[in-house]
């Protein structure tokens, strides 16, 4: 039986580091979409600020009054920026559904896939993962209902309690529980994606069932694997924001840019770290089954290629 | 009442001058120690006392009701016999067909009526001494909108007129149904904010009764006088009130009766909760010692020192700038969580503040609200202008003074937010509020006739502040402060008008300011000046480049065109800076639509800037007030980075489902 040992944990990070092209590809797409989402806003802002002495209030510090004044400007420079960002975020999500097949094929094989093979895997698994995403949305509905129930309970406690603190503590616990539950669901669906790629499983519901069985038998190890990575990503993100807000000079341009992009890359890297770790875990799991299963015939060696992986 | 709500997410510290007096924190089982009885105290005659209220009220917490009797002695100082008397019945505003709620729904179609919001004040008995029982004689009137379902004003016709100079005594029995906290009053769990709760007679003003209905944007107007109020309620209640506690008596039925006295005020409110923690302090100024009671709700105790600090700082500033605070007490009510509807409100010698269980030190919401409401002790409490008809005189002037006070205590650019990553000053906050809805209505408009409550807030608070900040450019900050001091000393304990204020400013400054006030107060003109064009060109531009380069004394012709984009005419200074580090200041009266300045110099233009001292706060767009020949894109890059990062981050979050 495979286990989420520290070896798996670090091997996942090592795999992401070793297959950096995947990370860079995703980052470049993310960056490009964000660039296009904000380009119009940036141009409007530039037309107002670049020749204005009043822009110094934003350069030397971060004057919220100047920012609010900019937002209230008759030229409406900030108008539409949120909807543009949401639109490109949707596009990025579609891209990630597309890219996940290639990402998992790369990590599961443990080899460097050339571009053709990578995108072939992307296309090969795309519609499966679209279906899987639909399943995920369905599974998330009860979580949203749970969230709504917790919100109502929070409101009820808040309304009835003389002190605000019981409701606050309830909310803290509820948020943590929902986040932990979301991680649990992500582990489940990520494993289904790994199975789909490793076994070339077309039937998504079957992959989900197998993934659920694996999770049931290895819940703590898999969960702990994901939770650790999540904690690392959140902690680094919080530290990065703290440095940005408190330690960088207000006038500096390059340092905040580099730091912000590092945080984005690191966050994305952590997400890939979870996927890589799960691929390694699953590979180990398959090997363990192959070794422990009594057989009169020697089992075929599990191929490094996902296409060749035998079904258990 | 304070409309703006400010929030913050991070931390910063500020240094404040230490206040005088020792802070003590007590969880009372009973109310504070009574002070001397009014008979023993020297008689104060700060105001012309028109009314004398004696109220005996019994609070029934389970039912959220108050059963009370009121005796009102009214001195007829109107100069003529009076037979008709209107009374405010404010609590009747909290009914679904009232004018107040109708206007709420008009301004916010998503507003939903809640049965718990129901409030009412019912007159069960009304008699006039010497004239008998007149309970069946009163009727409701609707002087503002003819909405017959609105019962916020009643009128009584007496059988015979009260002669000029004589007194008339009304005896009224009434029952209050308190709403769940809404618009400054009501209950929330075990908390009660009891304001606008008794039948209050209108004001004879400008030769007529002034007694408007209660609207969703209006506040109050009343005559000065004295209040003797008895409140009976459970013994575990901790009470704060707008009067001195004269006595406290425990009753055999588990209740207690507190007796309060207040004089030279025009309203009386009180608050009760068994969960309050009373934080006491004191401050001594030019008019003597002021006892401070801060009644803190559970979970908010950490904000108590902040309330105290800003109160002491503001008391000292107002004492120095405006005039003495003549009362011996000030009570601050901190509403419980979820009770912000009761927060940010002023009553004579009692104000309600607002805070949250988590309030970073660099976010000055508690300070802003507390200072604003305290300021109303001057602009409303003592200078008792008509809040229905000229709200700018109390809310606007008070908001202007708030910018001065907060800036003095917490720094000019950091008096709202002083966080590690972001700052904001009060001046900017008020200006941004004004820009929200800048030109729908003139400042001088009856409060309920504004386009909507948003326009009322933006213009009454934000624009008036911005108008007064801009006035500093014309007459100077110190002169304006002197004018406010004169206005206060001259009109305290009276009901002045906007005209009185303007005349006082003109008198103190020695300037005719009608041209300004006509546009700023009576008009809806917008002010926006812009550098339309600014560039330098070689005078001999037609010569070839080679010839021009060989000539070391190239003469440049610089053009600077300034445009008045909107209708508000205001004189402006324009500073033109050249690359030999020399500057020229031009003064333009702004009457024409544009003006062009032309210079022939051996230096080229670097920048042109309108209002280089940054004093014209009314200008709706600061960014077009200047033009630099060389672009500086650091601000754009900074914002682009933040927007790009946010966009990438949103995409990452959404892609979690992939």
Structural domain of A258: 6-291
Of A81, A94, A261, the CB nearest to B643: A81
Q: Are B264 and B275 in contact (CB under 8 A)?
A: no
The Cα of A169 is separated from the nearest Cα of chain B by a number of Å equal to 12
In a domain, A110, yes or no: yes
In a domain, A302, yes or no: no
The DSSP-derived string for B296-351 is: EPTT-GGGHHHHHHHHHHHHHHHHHHT-----SEEEEE-PPTT-GGGSSEEETTEE
Cβ–Cβ below 8 Å for A62 and B421? yes
Instruction: Using alpha carbons, select from B42, B76, B584 the residue that is nearest to residue B328.
Output: B42
Q: What is the largest CA-CA distance in chain A?
A: 83
Instruction: For B295-349, write each residue's pLDDT tens digit.
Output: 999 999 999 999 999 999 999 999 999 999 999 999 999 999 999 999 999 999 9
Same domain for B494 and B566?
A: no
CA distance B241 to B349: 8
Per cent of chain A over pLDDT 90 is 80
Backbone angles phi, psi at A188, to 5 degrees: -60, -50
Question: Distance of CA A300 to CAs A284, A286, A297, Å?
Answer: 15, 12, 9
CA distance B493 to A190: 74
The Cα of A33 is separated from the nearest Cα of chain B by a number of Å equal to 8
CA distance B439 to B454: 12
Residue from B463, B636, B654 to probe the interface with A (highest A Cβ count within 10 Å): B636
Cβ–Cβ below 8 Å for A93 and B651? yes
In a domain, B223, yes or no: no
Phi-psi region of B64 (alpha: psi -120 to 50; beta: other; left: phi over 0): left
The DSSP-derived string for A75-144 is: T-TTTTHHHHHHHHHHHHHHHHHHHHHHHHHHHHHTS---HHHHHHHHHHHHHHHHHHHHHHHHHHHHHH
For residue B451, give the CATH number of its domain: 1.10.390.10
Q: Are B529 and B418 in contact (CB under 8 A)?
A: no
Same domain for B453 and B539?
A: no
Q: What is the layout of strands, in order, in the sheet containing B572-578? A: B583-588, B572-578, B605-610, B626-628
The DSSP-derived string for B11-65 is: ------PPPSS--EEE--SSPPPP---TTTSPPP-SS---EEEEEEEEEETTTTE
Same domain for B494 and B540?
A: no
Instruction: For A181-215, write each residue's pLDDT tens digit.
Output: 999 999 999 999 999 999 999 999 999 999 999 99
pLDDT value at position B32?
A: 45
- DSSP-derived pairing of the beta strands B203-205 and B208-210: antiparallel
Q: Which residue of A has its CA nearest to B640?
A: A42
Cβ–Cβ below 8 Å for A38 and B643? yes
Q: Are A201 and A191 in contact (CB under 8 A)?
A: no
For residue B553, give the CATH number of its domain: 2.60.40
Domain-terminating residue out of B520, B538, B569:
B520
Cβ–Cβ below 8 Å for A69 and B435? yes
Q: Are A194 and A218 in contact (CB under 8 A)?
A: no
pLDDT at A156 over 50: yes
Cβ–Cβ below 8 Å for A140 and B657? yes
CB atoms within 10 A of CB A287: 13
Same domain for B513 and B406?
A: yes
Q: How confident is the model at residue B10 (pLDDT cuts 50, 70, 90)?
A: very low
pLDDT value at position B469?
A: 98
Q: Which long-range contacts link B186-190 to residues 24+ away (Cβ below 8 Å)?
A: B186/B94, B186/B119, B186/B341, B186/B342, B187/B61, B187/B64, B188/B335, B188/B336, B188/B338, B188/B339, B188/B342, B189/A159, B189/A160, B189/A162, B189/B336, B190/A162, B190/B61, B190/B273, B190/B274, B190/B275
pLDDT at B24 over 90: no
Same domain for B485 and B533?
A: no
CA distance B411 to B17: 13
Cβ–Cβ below 8 Å for A64 and B337? no
Per cent of chain B over pLDDT 90 is 90
Cβ–Cβ below 8 Å for A245 and B421? yes
The Cα of B14 is separated from the nearest Cα of chain A by a number of Å equal to 16
Backbone angles phi, psi at A185, to 5 degrees: -65, -40
CB atoms within 10 A of CB B646: 17
List CB contacts (< 8 A) between A59 and chain B.
632, 634-635, 638
In a domain, B164, yes or no: no
Q: Which residue of A has its CA nearest to B635?
A: A59
Of A51, A72, A264, the CB nearest to B652: A264
Q: What is the largest CA-CA distance in chain B?
A: 107
Element at A30 (helix H, strand E): helix A20-49
In a domain, B430, yes or no: yes
Instruction: For B401-439, write each residue's pLDDT tens digit.
Output: 999 999 999 999 999 999 988 999 999 999 999 999 999
List CB contacts (< 8 A) between B655 and chain A.
89, 92-93, 95-96
Instruction: For B143-196, write each residue's pLDDT tens digit.
Output: 999 999 999 999 999 999 999 999 999 999 999 999 999 988 999 999 999 999
Of B431, B626, B649, the CB nearest to A53: B626
List CB contacts (< 8 A) between B10 and chain A.
245
Q: Are B210 and B202 in contact (CB under 8 A)?
A: yes
Same domain for B508 and B409?
A: yes
Question: Distance of CA B210 to CAs B98, B456, B495, Å?
Answer: 19, 21, 12
Same domain for B421 and B490?
A: yes
Instruction: For A166-186, write each residue's pLDDT tens digit.
Output: 999 999 999 999 999 999 999
List CB contacts (< 8 A) between B403 and chain A.
none
The number of folded domains in chain A is 1
Average pLDDT, chain B: 93
Q: Are B355 and B317 in contact (CB under 8 A)?
A: no
> ipTM greater than 0.95, yes or no?
no
CA distance B278 to B651: 50
CA distance A265 to A276: 16
Same domain for B539 and B427?
A: no
CB atoms within 10 A of CB A122: 20
Residue from B623, B628, B633, B656 to probe the interface with A (highest A Cβ count within 10 Å): B623
Of B356, B638, B652, the CB nearest to A59: B638
Residue from A29, A72, A75 to probe the interface with B (highest B Cβ count within 10 Å): A72
In a domain, B572, yes or no: yes
**Range name among A89-98, A286-295, B151-160, B554-563 with the lowest pLDDT average:** A286-295
Cβ–Cβ below 8 Å for B647 and A33? yes
Of B435, B649, B651, the CB nearest to A72: B435
In a domain, A301, yes or no: no
pLDDT value at position B607?
A: 98
Instruction: Using alpha carbons, select from B312, B448, B454, B471 the residue that is nearest to residue B386.
Output: B448
In a domain, B603, yes or no: yes
List CB contacts (< 8 A) between B337 and chain A.
158, 163-164, 167
The Cα of B466 is separated from the nearest Cα of chain A by a number of Å equal to 14
The Cα of A92 is separated from the nearest Cα of chain B by a number of Å equal to 6
Of A52, A136, A267, the CB nearest to B623: A52
Domain-terminating residue out of B520, B544, B576:
B520
The number of folded domains in chain B is 2
Cβ–Cβ below 8 Å for B636 and A42? yes
Element at B172 (helix H, strand E): strand B167-177
The SS3 call for residue A248 is: coil
CA distance B197 to B199: 7
Q: Which residues pair with B503 in a beta bridge?
A: none
Instruction: Using alpha carbons, select from B651, B658, B650, B653 the residue that is nearest to residue A186.
Output: B658
The Cα of A17 is separated from the nearest Cα of chain B by a number of Å equal to 19
List CB contacts (< 8 A) between A46 and chain B.
633, 636
Average pLDDT, chain A: 90
The Cα of B372 is separated from the nearest Cα of chain A by a number of Å equal to 19
Instruction: For A240-263, write each residue's pLDDT tens digit.
Output: 999 999 999 989 999 999 999 999
pLDDT value at position A308?
A: 40
Cβ–Cβ below 8 Å for A54 and B626? yes
Q: Residue B657 carries which DSSP code?
A: G
pLDDT value at position B44?
A: 60
Structural domain of B485: 400-520
Element at B465 (helix H, strand E): helix B464-475
Cβ–Cβ below 8 Å for A50 and B632? yes
Q: Please write down the HEC assignment for all residues of B243-262.
A: CEEEEEEECCCCEEEEEEEE
Q: Give, rounded to a whole angstrom, the gap between the first and last alpha carbons of chain B.
A: 49
Kindly state the average pLDDT of the residues B71-88: 98
Cβ–Cβ below 8 Å for B633 and A58? no
List CB contacts (< 8 A) between A60 and chain B.
none
The DSSP-derived string for B50-116 is: -EEEEEEEEEETTTTEEEEEEEEEEE--SSS-EEEEEEE-GGGGSSTTSHHHHHHHHH-TT----GG
Same domain for B450 and B546?
A: no
Cβ–Cβ below 8 Å for B644 and A38? yes
The Cα of B301 is separated from the nearest Cα of chain A by a number of Å equal to 11
Element at B124 (helix H, strand E): strand B120-128
Higher pLDDT, residue A59 or B41 = A59
Q: Which residue of A has its CA nearest to B420?
A: A246
Q: How confident is the model at residue B41 (pLDDT cuts 50, 70, 90)?
A: very low
Backbone angles phi, psi at B230, to 5 degrees: -105, 130
CA distance A167 to A146: 17
**Range name among A55-64, B147-156, B252-261 with the lowest pLDDT average:** A55-64
CA distance B181 to B175: 18
Q: Which residue of A has its CA nearest to B413?
A: A63
CA atoms lying within 13 Å on the CB side of residue B301: 15
Instruction: Using alpha carbons, select from B281, B269, B248, B287 the residue that is nearest to residue B349.
Output: B269
Cβ–Cβ below 8 Å for A58 and B644? no
CB atoms within 10 A of CB B518: 14
Same domain for B493 and B583?
A: no
pLDDT value at position B128?
A: 98
């Amino acid at each position: 039986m495979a286990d989420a040992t520290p070896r798996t944990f670090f091997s996942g990070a090592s795999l992401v580091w070793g297959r950096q092209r995947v990370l860079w590809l995703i980052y470049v797409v993310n960056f490009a979409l964000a660039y296009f989402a904000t380009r119009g806003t940036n141009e409007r802002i530039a037309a107002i600020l670049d020749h204005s002495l009043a822009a110094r209030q934003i350069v030397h510090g971060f004057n919220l009054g100047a920012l609010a004044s900019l937002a209230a400007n008759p030229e409406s420079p900030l108008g539409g920026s949120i909807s543009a960002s949401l639109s490109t975020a949707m596009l990025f999500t579609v891209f990630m559904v597309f890219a996940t097949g290639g990402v998992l094929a790369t990590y599961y094989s443990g080899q460097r896939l050339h571009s053709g093979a990578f995108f072939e895997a992307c296309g090969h698994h795309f519609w499966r993962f679209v279906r899987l995403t639909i399943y995920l949305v369905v599974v998330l509905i009860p979580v949203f209902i749970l969230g709504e129930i917790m919100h109502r309970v929070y409101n009820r406690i808040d309304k009835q309690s003389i002190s605000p603190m019981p409701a606050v503590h309830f909310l803290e616990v509820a948020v943590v529980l929902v986040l932990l539950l979301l991680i649990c669901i992500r582990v489940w669906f990520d494993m289904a994606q790994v199975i789909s790629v490793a076994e070339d499983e077309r039937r998504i519901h079957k992959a989900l069932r197998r993934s659920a069985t694996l999770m049931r038998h290895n819940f703590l190890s898999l969960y702990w694997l994901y939770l650790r990575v999540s904690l690392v990503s959140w902690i680094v993100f919080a530290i990065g924001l703290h440095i940005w807000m408190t330690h960088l000079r207000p006038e500096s341009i390059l340092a905040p840019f580099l730091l912000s992009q590092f945080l984005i890359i690191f966050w994305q890297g952590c997400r890939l770290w979870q996927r890589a770790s799960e691929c390694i875990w699953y590979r180990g799991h398959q090997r363990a089954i192959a070794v422990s299963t009594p057989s009169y015939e020697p089992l075929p060696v599990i191929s490094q290629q996902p296409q060749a992986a035998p079904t258990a | 009442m304070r409309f703006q709500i400010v929030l913050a997410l991070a931390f910063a510290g500020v240094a404040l001058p230490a206040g005088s007096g020792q802070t003590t924190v007590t969880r009372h089982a009973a109310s504070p120690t009574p002070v001397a009885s009014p008979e023993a105290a020297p008689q104060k005659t700060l105001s012309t006392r028109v009314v004398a209220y004696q109220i005996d009220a019994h609070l029934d917490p389970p039912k959220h009701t108050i059963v009370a009797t009121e005796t009102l002695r009214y001195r007829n100082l109107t100069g003529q016999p009076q037979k008709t008397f209107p009374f405010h019945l404010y609590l009747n505003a909290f009914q679904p067909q009232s004018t107040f709620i109708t206007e709420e729904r008009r301004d916010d179609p998503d507003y939903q009526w809640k049965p718990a919001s129901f409030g009412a004040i019912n007159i069960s008995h009304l008699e006039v001494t010497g004239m008998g029982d007149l309970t069946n004689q009163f009727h409701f009137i609707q002087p503002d909108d003819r909405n017959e379902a609105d019962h916020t004003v009643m009128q009584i016709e007496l059988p015979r007129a009260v002669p000029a100079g004589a007194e008339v005594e009304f005896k009224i029995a009434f029952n209050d149904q308190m709403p769940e906290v809404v618009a400054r009053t009501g209950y929330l769990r075990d908390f009660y904010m009891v304001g606008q709760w008794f039948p209050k007679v209108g004001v004879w003003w400008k030769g007529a009764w002034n007694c408007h209905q209660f609207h969703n944007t209006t506040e109050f107007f009343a005559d000065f006088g004295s209040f003797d109020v008895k409140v009976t309620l459970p013994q575990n209640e901790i009470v704060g009130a707008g009067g001195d506690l004269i006595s406290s008596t425990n009753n055999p039925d588990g209740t207690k009766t507190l007796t309060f006295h207040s004089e030279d005020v025009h309203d009386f409110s009180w608050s009760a909760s068994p969960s309050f923690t009373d934080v006491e302090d004191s401050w001594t100024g030019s008019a003597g010692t002021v006892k401070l009671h801060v009644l803190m709700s559970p979970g908010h105790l950490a904000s108590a020192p902040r309330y105290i600090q800003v109160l002491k700082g503001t008391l000292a500033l107002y004492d120095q700038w405006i005039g003495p605070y003549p009362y011996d007490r000030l009570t601050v009510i901190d509403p419980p969580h979820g009770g912000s509807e009761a927060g940010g409100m002023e009553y004579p010698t009692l104000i309600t503040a607002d805070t949250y269980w988590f309030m970073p030190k660099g976010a000055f919401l508690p300070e802003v609200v507390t200072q604003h409401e305290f300021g109303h002790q001057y602009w409303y409490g003592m200078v008792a202008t008509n809040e229905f008809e000229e709200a700018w005189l109390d809310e606007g002037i008070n908001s202007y003074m708030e910018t001065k006070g907060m800036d003095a205590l917490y720094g000019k650019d950091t008096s709202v937010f002083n966080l590690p990553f972001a700052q904001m000053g009060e001046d900017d906050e008020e200006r941004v509020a004004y820009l929200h809805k800048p030109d729908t209505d003139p400042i001088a408009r009856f409060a309920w006739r504004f386009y909507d409550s948003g326009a009322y807030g933006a213009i009454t608070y934000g624009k008036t502040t911005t108008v007064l900040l801009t006035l500093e450019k014309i007459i100077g900050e110190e002169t304006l402060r002197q004018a406010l001091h004169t206005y206060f000393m001259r009109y305290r304990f009276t009901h002045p008008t906007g005209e009185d204020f303007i005349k006082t400013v003109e008198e103190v400054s020695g300037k005719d300011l009608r041209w300004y006030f006509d546009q700023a107060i009576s008009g809806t003109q917008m002010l926006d000046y812009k550098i339309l064009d600014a560039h330098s060109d070689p005078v001999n531009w037609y010569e070839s480049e080679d010839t021009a380069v060989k000539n070391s004394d190239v003469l440049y012709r610089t053009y600077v065109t300034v445009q008045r984009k909107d209708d508000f005419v205001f004189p402006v200074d324009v500073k033109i800076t050249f690359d030999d580090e020399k500057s020229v200041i031009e003064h333009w009266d702004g009457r024409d639509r544009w003006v062009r300045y032309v210079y022939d110099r051996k230096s080229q233009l670097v920048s042109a800037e309108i209002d280089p001292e940054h004093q014209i706060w009314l200008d709706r767009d600061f960014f077009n007030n200047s033009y630099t020949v060389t672009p500086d894109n650091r601000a754009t890059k900074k914002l682009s980075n933040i927007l790009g990062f946010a966009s990438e981050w949103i995409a990452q979050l959404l892609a979690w489902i992939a």
